[in-house]
Amino acid sequence: MKEKKSYDVILFKAVSYALKAEKILKKEGLPHKLIPVPKHISSDCGVCIRFEPEIKSKIEAALFNKVDVEELRTLEN
Amino acid sequence: MADIKIIDARGLSCPQPVVLTKKALEDNARVTTIVDNETALENVKRLAGKFGFAVTVEPKGKSVYEIHIVRGADFNKDQDFVASCQTGAAPSGPFVIAVTEDKMGRGNDELGAVLIKAFLHTVAGQAKKPDVMIFYNTGVTLTVQGSDVLEDLKQLESEGVQILVCGTCLNYFEIKDKLAAGVVSNMYDIVETMSNAGRLIVP
């Protein structure tokens, strides 16, 4: 509501993948945030990783071939 | 088009309006319930929400509402619905959340760490914010520099949520100088806040 801008999230098949990705992004020093999967995407109690669209390519490069990513989505806030 | 079953629940006390509405939905695809108070309105709306039914509310004068519900395809009528019959305002006393650990729930710590982050992020995004949040034991580590939830805690603080952080605990972990959200507090404040709480949640 406050931030009108959109942001990107990475969705994973399982929580363990999200954790693995979080560890890698932390190590790489890429800003991100673990958040609950927004309700309108899934009603499961899942987590996903949110990040600023500007570093999308860096995030993708960091996780490429390391973590199984289910989907990358842009969300309107 | 199927007939609309009309339930006139005016003058009925909680949980009658919601009970009658649910009963009517068992035999009718479209139900309109007329209520004359906000509690009944919220309960009937919640009922429809829980089962995923389309609901529209039409205000009809002072505290009177017509609630139109269209039943969805997958209605499990055996599923219970508990009406909230608390009359009037919320329980007196502040809404307090006590974060007692740096994780949520017991069993698996790695998972618990993920859950507490998701919990705090969700609390920060919720309309109904707590009045006070208390952090103690390993929970205090969430309030210091380097914590993944600082952004959420700071946002809560900026919106008026009081964040009390156990000083003894900060001291024990030797991180008092790293406190980045909330204020250092003590057992007197913590006990007093908990004792006066209208609602106390421990994630």
Q: How does pLDDT run across B83-119, given as a tens digit for each residue? A: 777 655 556 789 999 999 999 999 999 999 999 999 9
The kind and range of the H/E element at A73 are: strand A71-75
Is the CB of A47 inside 8 Å of chain B's CB atoms? yes
- Our CA-based measurement puts residue B121 at a distance from the nearest CA of chain A, in whole angstroms, of 7
Q: What is the mean pLDDT of residues B56-74?
A: 90
Mean pLDDT value across residues B22-46: 91
Handedness of CA A48, A62, A23, B126 (dihedral sign): negative
Mean pLDDT of B164-188: 93
- CATH architecture assigned to A6-76: 2-Layer Sandwich (3.30)
Give the pLDDT band (50/70/90) at residue A2.
very low
Does A36 touch chain B if contact means CB atoms closer than 8 Å? yes
Percent of chain A with pLDDT over 90: 47
A24 touches chain B (CB under 8 A): no
The structure tokens listed for A60 are 């993708």
Which residues of B fall within a CB distance of 8 Å from A36? 118, 121-122
The answer to whether residue B4 scores a pLDDT higher than 60 is yes
**Cβ contact, residue pair A33, B118, below 8 Å:** no
The answer to whether residue B15 scores a pLDDT higher than 70 is: yes
| pLDDT-based confidence at residue B36 (cuts at 50, 70, 90) | very high
Share of chain B above pLDDT 90, in %: 72
> What global pTM score does this model have?
0.63
Asked if the bond preceding A36 is cis, omega within 30° of 0, the reply is no
Q: Is the pLDDT of residue A1 over 60?
A: no
With b for 16 or more beta-carbon neighbours within 10 A and e for fewer, the B125-138 pattern comes to: beeebbbbbbbbeb
- Please indicate whether residue B115 or residue B52 has the higher confidence score (pLDDT): B115
B 95-114: CB under 8 A from A: 110-111, 114
**What are the E-state strand segments in chain B?**
4-8, 30-35, 54-59, 65-70, 95-99, 132-135, 162-166, 183-185, 199-201
Exposed / middle / buried, residue B17 (Cβ in 10 Å: 0-12, 13-18, 19+): buried
In this predicted structure, the answer to whether residue A68 has a pLDDT above a threshold of 70 is: yes
pLDDT band at A13 (very low <50, low <70, confident <90, very high): confident
β-sheet bridge partners, residue A7: A75
Of the candidates B118, B134, B197, the residue with the CA atom closest to the CA atom of residue B169? B134
What interface predicted TM-score (ipTM) does this complex get? 0.71
CB contact A30 to B (< 8 Å): no
Q: Is the pLDDT of residue B1 over 90?
A: no
Say whether pLDDT at B141 is over 60: yes
pLDDT(B25) > 80: yes
Residue-wise pLDDT for A28-65, tens only, equals: 999 999 898 887 887 666 889 999 999 999 999 999 88
What's chain A's average pLDDT? Answer: 86
Single-letter code of the amino acid located at A55? I
| % of chain A at pLDDT higher than 70 | 90
